[in-house]
Structure formats: structure tokens, C-alpha cells
Amino acid sequence: APILFTQWMPQLEVYEKYADQRERGFQWTWNDVEAADVNELKKYYHGIGYDSIPKKESSETGIITLDESPMDDEEREMMALENW
């Protein structure tokens, strides 16, 4: 299956075109996967520099973890700069 980057979630949560997916609670079936608009996915990956849709390695689990450790000084400064 294609990789779904975590940065897509904010778009899925707010873009009007994904309202139906929010209503479903982001629960997808394999039929949904088969019916997905692959051209939209290709455009996305092309826009960030890929020639094709990347596939995950069979050894990858696809499970991510969020780093909830406190920010260091550099991270805090970058966040302040972003918000400035």
C-alpha cells in the first residue's frame, strides 16, 4: 500500500473536499483503497520531488510514534520564529 505521510492529516481534517472522510472517522476499507484517486496521490508526490509513488519496505511496520519529549532550546527558538 502507498505511504500516507503524517502531514496529510491536518489537510484531511480541514479541507472541505475531505469532509466525507471526516464523517467516516477516517476508517477505510480495501474497497476504498482500490477506488482512491491515484492521480491526486501522484500529483502530491510529484510536487514534493518524487518521480513515482514510494512504496514502503516490507520490513517497515507503518506504525509511527510521536516524540513527546520536551523541546530543546533550538526547537523552542524555531517555534517562536514560526509564530513571529
CA–CA distance, 80 with 34 (Å, rounded to integer):
42
Confidence (pLDDT) at 3? 59
Look at residue 19 in the predicted model and tell me its pLDDT: 92
Contacts of residue 24, defined as CB under 8 A and 6 or more positions apart, other chains included, come to none
- The pTM of the full predicted model, rounded to 2 decimals, is 0.45
- C-alpha grid cell, residue 20: 466525507
What is the rounded distance in angstroms from the CA atom of residue 53 to the CA atom of residue 33? 14
Q: pLDDT tens digits, the chain, 84 residues: what are they?
A: 555 677 777 888 888 988 998 898 888 888 888 888 889 888 888 888 889 888 777 777 766 666 777 778 888 888 788 776
pLDDT for 4: 66
**Virtual CA dihedral for 40, 44, 50, 55, nearest 10 degrees?**
-60
Record the cell numbers describing residue 60, joined without a space. Answer: 517497515
Per-residue pLDDT, 2: 53
CA distance 67 to 16: 29
510536487: which residue's cell?
A: 47
